[in-house]
Structure 1
Amino acid sequence: MPVGLAMSTEAIEERLAGVAVYALSNSSQEFVLVSGINSGKSLGLFCFKEEDAEALLEQMKSMDPGMRQGSKVVAVALNKVFQLKVDGVAFRLIPELSQIKNALRERQKAGFSDEIFSGVPVFQSRSLILRSHNKRYYPVFFRKEDLENSLLRASRQQKQLNPAFREGDIQVAVLEDIIQGMKDSTTSKWDDVVFIPPGFDVSTDPSQR
């Protein structure tokens, strides 16, 4: 594997900028922090699914009447969340439950018997490659369905040129591990990754190959 430099914080944040997560904001436009049951430490919660954040808001309102006025769900770019970490604010990313189930199913297909999944699952296929300015990029998806749609589209496009093209296997990774790998790695394992926001698929246009 070629040797490279760890990615800068700015470069990593640029990759995350297009992905939205959802947080709770109070009437003063501040993020609502919750206290961990075991640690007592305050942390911000950021949901990948807006409906999960809405449900959390309703739960918080029922527990704290002071939140009923002016509190709302706000969209936040994922790179801003990681800036909070730099500023010393603890947070937790809450993935979609359906995607945790998808990740566990894919892990079982690969021969692992995991019953829990720690972190935010992301999905990729090494047979799905984007090209831009003579560089290769591997898209990473937050929803398995978006990857499957992209593979299907790529398969249709490729069969026009190459009837042997087949949909690739789906690999599961952990978002936090990828970001840590970008920061620490002296190899180029993760520097060709691009994050695709939930609800989007990608096209690998054969004319650009």
Structure 2
Amino acid sequence: MTAIGRIGCSLNRRATMAKNNKASSASSAIDRKSIANDLKDQGNALMTKGDHQQALKLYTRAIHEDESNPVLYTNRAAAYFSAKKYADSLKDAEKAIALDAKWWKAYKRKAMALCHLKRFDDAIAAFEAGLAIAKDEEDLTKGLEFAKACLEQSQHLYVLPKQNMMARLDGVPCFYVADAQGQPFFVTYEDGQQICTFYFEYSEAQSTLEWIQQQNPGLADAANIVPVSLSQALFLAQDTQSNQYVEELQAIMLGGSFPLAFQFRPELKQVEFAIERLKSMPPEETEGEKSEDAQPEEELTVENFNGIPVFQAKGLTLLQDNNQYVPLFLARHDLESSWEQLQEMGIGEIPPTCEIDVGTLEDVLKRMAQSTTGEFDSIIFVPNSHMRQHVKDDFPMDELTKSQKNPQPFQAAKAIKMAGGSTEDVRKAVVKELAKNTDKTKYMEVLLRHNIPVSVASKDAPTPKEVNAPN
């Protein structure tokens, strides 16, 4: 055979081998896709049974066999979502979109993960992108409504400072209606929402208790009104709000039940005075002229007043242990009474007229949480004296957990007595504690009479203007 003939045969053999290799590779790819599809089906079956962890493993194996399949990533995103691993769910959804920008379920998975990461603007954009591809998909439509609702709700979330600052509300009582075990009663409203209310007016709690007893005669002896510190109530409401996103998502998108919620109902008199005071104040100056198309502001009423009102007298500060404190009152009558008595006694530099600023407790707490300068270290909260009449002397007590929040006074003196110390040593310990908590007898009388805290840790106090309650 000639050289040319040998070369021709060699080329033919190589071509045949290449063709066989290509066919083999194609067959192998088909086999891997088939394996991936089988693993996906097994994972789907486990997801139906609620076994998210095992489904995750199967989807991961499927992706290893077929890395270019966007459906596998959206399925694993769903498994991550069910396992509450929202960041991982988002990552898989974005990978699916990168593989197939027209796969609408990838946008749904992405948006749902973003909702639970509280990135509501991004979630809305993802739902809208999905609807641009599949405008008739009901899941995307409902999801978009939910994301918009969450965005609006997020603007009203409780933002609370740290525990040590929230402790300033330990002595402020509010009330809720509970069963024999101390668990809150939730009233179901027409829209299915179940709400427990914390009351700032004891008579309103009584009215709710009587209504519950009328509706459920068997609970007449078991139901009762329980006091709880405002700090504990706010923490409970905050925790409930944090969990509400997941439950509302199930209610809206999966047809689940509505979540439980807590609300606060301030004393009507205080809300009415707050509105009266706010309406009497001059409007805030704004830069530039108002647009002709600008909508008129809604008139402030009892129905649309949002928050727990707090009151501050401009220029009123309290001196304690050489520190200045700025009191925020939860009741107007306590502020005015304290002002009058301190002015009569001539203690400190009290302005001649009582000019009252009005804000909301929620806004003050939010600013306390966000502050990095210590400007709110001098703030103390003064409970409504009418509310204090309905709690025991040893309040605050965390009624939800039955644990004492604050120690009893004169612990050092009691310890000395139990250890066999002399009467003189016990007397000195008592005097030392009294001296630590008071400067002047008359001043202390006013503070105690109005339940104004007298032992609050504070750094250098800012001027009253720096800590005025917000308008």
Query: 2:203 is matched with which residue: 35, 43, 51?
Result: 51
CA deviations on 1:124-152 (whole Å, 9 max, x unpaired) are 11211012233221111111011001111
Which residue number in structure 2 is paired with residue 94 of structure 1?
265
What is residue 214 of structure 2 aligned with on the other side? 62
Secondary structure, counterpart of 2:366 in structure 1: helix
Q: What amino acid maps onto 1:177 in structure 2?
A: D
* Distance change in 2, residues 1:192/1:31 (3 Å): same
Q: Percent identity?
A: 27
Q: Where do 5+ consecutive residues of structure 1 fail to align?
A: 1-5, 204-209
Task: Specify which structure has the bigger relative contact order, considering alpha-carbon pairs within 8 angstroms and separated by 6 or more residues.
Answer: 1
**Separation in structure 2 between the aligned mates of residue 161 and residue 131 of structure 1, nearest angstrom:** 8
Query: Residues 22, 32 of structure 1: CA spacing in aligned structure 2 closer, same or farther, 3 A cutoff?
Result: same
CA contact (8 A) 2:160 2:166 kept: no
Change beyond 3 A, Cα 1:178–1:56: same
Does 1:128 pair with 2:316?
A: yes
Match in the other structure for 1:207: none
Q: Tell me the CA shift for residue 67 of structure 1.
A: 3.0
Q: How does 1:1-209 map to 2 (within 5 A)?
A: 8-38=161-191, 40-88=192-240, 90-111=261-282, 114-116=300-302, 117-158=305-346, 165-199=351-385, 201=450
Summarize the Cα distance change of 1:155–1:26 in structure 2 as closer, same or farther, 3 Å threshold: same
TM-score (normalizing by structure 2): 0.38
For residues 37 and 184 of structure 1, the distance between their equivalents in structure 2, rounded to whole angstroms, comes to 37
| Larger Cα-atom Rg | 2
Higher helix share: 2
Instruction: Say whether the 8 Å CA contact 1:126–1:138 is kept in structure 2.
Output: no
Q: How far is 1:174 from its partner?
A: 0.3
State the alpha-carbon separation in 1 of the partners of residues 222 and 451 from structure 2.
38
CA–CA separation in structure 1 for the residues paired with 2:341 and 2:189: 43
Higher strand share: 1
Pairwise CA distance, 1:95: 0.6
CA RMSD, 1 decimal: 2.6
Q: In 2, distance between residues paired with 1:110 and 1:96?
A: 22
Cα 1:161–1:86, aligned 2, differ >3 Å: closer, same or farther?
closer
Contact 1:151–1:167 (CA<8 Å) still a contact in 2? no
- Stretches of structure 2 that go unaligned for 5 or more consecutive residues are 1-158, 242-260, 284-298, 386-448, 453-471
TM-score (norm 1): 0.81
Distance in 2 (alpha carbons) for counterparts of 1:184 and 1:36: 35
Aligned counterparts of 2:272 and 2:334: Cα–Cα separation in 1: 15
What do the CA deviations read for 1:31-85 (whole angstroms, capped 9, x no partner)? Answer: 11223444x3333211111111001111222233343230011111111112313
